[in-house]
């Protein structure tokens, strides 16, 4: 056990230290501080010494240099059981610090506010980060509070143990300190490296969210990120790992559409998807695409949920409903089932990171997200017959859908609605057969529908199968050595085919 006598405090936000100051002063701790922190402590009526009284030097360069001095860091890094360190401190007339309290400059907040580069640079903390690392390194003799979130845990120990801490407790705070410093440095690196292309992957998050479980109940799961910055949970149980993955897939899919859209997802694939003039119309069309798979699904719309659509949705068992807003009457209807997760979406995925990271083997894969937009003017007609306006509209709809389906993937669509999809198949022809079976299984009329493929057709068999099912228009990336065979079949059967020039594999 080690008592606390000398304390060094250097914080950006001052208001959070009031209770700490009160308890430390009642224990007779001697306080040292800098600049604005010193003024704040003094104004609160506590005795406090300036760091300058130790260093003999004033703060310089407009406050850029305050604590970077041997008198300060000697008092932090001196080893308690090292006679030479003790002699050095005595010669320098420097106290040994037992507690170091730091709150760093708000670099991430400054970046998030869109501040100028000059203002952002001034929020790169130098002295504070050095104090944290020094105190954490010497945890055998020093306790470090590296941010305000650790004040309460420290005070709980401090009061329960009569102003003393154990080495294991100090090591805990040292771990927290290195976590704070590494996260801070990661944010700075990522800011500087946005346009510079230095090779390296740095990911850090302090806001862990415990999930109900992982992919299966025997697996633990956590989400690291600012979930509350994206959604407000209005109702329901805790979110699971699978919920989170489906929510992510759903909001990315829905963002593809400017018109009102409703998506129903199972295991990240859309089993129902439709646009409509109203949110109710979109919902009914999406549900009709596969009412069986919709059971227990994740629902996502880009429109406000009103009373009428809430009544319709209420008839189905579902896990999650995501929308940009809910009318009060709609909430009253949907909240009748206590476990339903209702999420109000605050921001669009376009504001998320533009990179995608996946753990594989003993490392990570990183790539740009597939943000390729699908527009009519970019399409290249390959057949003698050009698509009619309605067909072209359905082609773009279907391509947006297949872009977000697991490969190999085929989507059949008509009138702005998903009629059938084949996803995650080992061959393209199997994906098509699955999509046709889905549509026929729910008595959906495939005549005049369009087919979208996430990658090229290696043979003409898929186009032949589609024609037999009633498909009249095909949209695909193109790029096969045997593309002409598929094009020729379309010409011989009055079908139309367009190329996008962009593949959309998804694994």
The residues assigned a catalytic role are 137, 267
Q: How far apart are CA 173 and CA 17, in angstroms?
A: 17
The rounded distance, in Å, linking the Cα atoms of 310 and 312 is: 5
Task: Look at residue 19 and give its three-state secondary structure.
Answer: helix
What does residue 105 show for φ and ψ, rounded to 5 degrees?
-55, 140
Helices (H) and strands (E) in the chain, counts: 19, 23
> Which string of b and e fits 401-433 if b means at least 16 CB within 10 Å?
bbbbbbbbbbbbbbbbbbbbbbbbbeebbebbb
CA–CA gap between residue 475 and residue 364 (Å, rounded): 33
Residues β-bridged to residue 32: 8, 49
How far from 248 is each of 69, 269, 348, 485, CA to CA, in Å?
A: 49, 11, 11, 38
CA angle 388, 258, 435 (to 5 degrees): 60
- Distance from C-alpha of 107 to C-alpha of 185, rounded to nearest angstrom: 10
Beta strands in 12-91 (DSSP E): 30-33, 49-50
Buried b (16+ CB within 10 A) or exposed e, 369-386: eeeeebeeeebeebbebe
| Structure token pair of residue 15 | 């208001």
- Write out the DSSP string of 275-311: E-SSHHHHHHHHHHT-TTTTTTEEEEESS-B-HHHHH
């Amino acid at each position: 056990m080690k008592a606390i006598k000398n304390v060094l405090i250097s914080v950006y936000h001052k208001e959070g230290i009031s209770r700490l100051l009160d308890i430390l002063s009642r224990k007779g701790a001697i306080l040292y501080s800098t600049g604005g922190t010193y003024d704040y402590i003094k104004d609160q009526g506590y005795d406090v010494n300036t760091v300058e009284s130790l260093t003999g030097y004033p703060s310089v360069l407009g406050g850029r240099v305050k604590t970077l001095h041997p008198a300060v860091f000697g008092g932090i890094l001196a080893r308690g059981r090292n006679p030479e360190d003790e002699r050095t401190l005595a010669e320098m007339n420097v106290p040994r610090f037992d507690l170091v309290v730091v709150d760093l400059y708000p670099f991430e907040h400054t970046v998030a506010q869109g501040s100028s580069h000059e203002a952002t640079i001034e929020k790169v903390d130098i002295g504070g980060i050095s104090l944290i690392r020094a105190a954490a390194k010497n945890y055998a003799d020093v306790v470090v509070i590296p941010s305000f979130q650790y004040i309460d845990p420290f005070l709980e120990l401090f009061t329960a143990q009569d102003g003393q801490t154990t080495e294991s407790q100090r090591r805990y705070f040292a771990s927290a300190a290195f976590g704070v410093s590494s996260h801070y440095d990661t944010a700075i690196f990522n800011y500087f490296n946005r346009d510079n292309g230095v090779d390296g992957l740095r990911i850090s998050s302090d806001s862990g969210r415990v999930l109900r479980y992982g992919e299966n109940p025997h697996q633990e799961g956590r989400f690291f990120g600012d979930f509350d910055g994206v959604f407000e949970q209005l109702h329901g149980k805790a979110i699971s790992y699978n919920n989170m993955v489906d929510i992510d897939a759903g909001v990315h899919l829905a963002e593809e559409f400017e018109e009102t859209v409703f998506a129903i997802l199972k295991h990240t694939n859309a089993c129902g998807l439709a646009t409509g003039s109203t949110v109710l119309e979109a919902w009914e069309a999406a549900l009709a695409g596969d009412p069986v798979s919709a059971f227990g699904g994740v629902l996502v719309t880009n429109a406000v949920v009103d009373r009428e659509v809430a009544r319709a949705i209420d008839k189905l068992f579902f896990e999650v409903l995501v929308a940009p807003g809910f009318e009060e009457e709609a909430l009253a209807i949907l909240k009748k089932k206590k476990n339903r997760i209702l999420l109000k979406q605050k921001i669009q995925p376009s504001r998320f990171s533009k990179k995608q990271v996946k753990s594989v083997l003993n490392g990570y894969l990183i790539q740009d997200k597939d943000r390729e937009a699908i527009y009519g003017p970019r399409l290249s007609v390959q057949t003698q017959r050009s698509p009619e306006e309605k067909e072209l509209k359905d082609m773009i709809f279907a391509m947006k859908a297949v872009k977000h389906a697991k490969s190999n993937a085929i989507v059949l669509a008509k009138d702005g609605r998903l009629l059938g999809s084949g996803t995650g198949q080992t061959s393209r022809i199997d994906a098509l057969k699955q999509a046709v079976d889905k549509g026929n299984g729910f008595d959906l009329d495939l005549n005049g529908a369009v087919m979208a493929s996430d990658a090229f057709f290696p043979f003409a068999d898929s186009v032949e199968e589609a024609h037999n099912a009633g498909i009249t228009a095909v949209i695909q990336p193109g790029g096969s050595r045997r593309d002409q065979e598929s094009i020729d079949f379309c010409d011989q059967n009055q079908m139309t085919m367009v190329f996008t020039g962009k593949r959309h594999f998804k694994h």
